[in-house]
Amino acid sequence: LYFVHYRALIFPLLIREGKPTPFLTFVLALLFCVFNGYLQGRSLTTYATYPPGWLGDLCFITGFLGWLIGMAINIHSDHILRNLRKPGETGYKIPRGGMFEYVSGANFFGEILEWFGFALACCTIESLAFALCTLFILGSRARQHHK
């Protein structure tokens, strides 16, 4: 689930040219992703133990479905955001459709749901820590966007 994540594999191929990212922001994001990837991978391959039949357990299935629904919301929300403006058009537009009818930061909501689903499916402290980091970081960004 971690390696199939939409933002890592699909999203970079879909985005159009936008505002440049400050170098420090890029470096900090890269360091976070490298450290978190190591932490998640190490946790799941070295320390996590699961009983036989774990993939059929209600906890795993519920977590996987949460992850899948979150990723679908994330992908659809980003599609709406990418198509808000016509080429060359500038200015702020309020997104409509999909989960944007219920929350102003539908893309953030989808990603938060995705990582809490991942945490439930994995049942590790490391995956929960990542979900909480995602909640606090994206939650604050969603609040800023809402304002």
pLDDT tens, 54-82?
A: 999 999 999 999 999 999 999 899 899 88
**Helices (H) and strands (E) in the chain — how many of each?**
6, 0
Mean pLDDT within 86-96: 83
CA distance 76 to 125: 29
Closest by Cα among 67, 81, 74, 146 to 108: 74
Do the beta carbons of residue 71 and residue 115 sit within 8 Å?
A: no
- pTM of the full predicted structure? 0.85
Compute CA distances 73 → 78, 89, 113, 135, whole Å.
8, 25, 9, 16
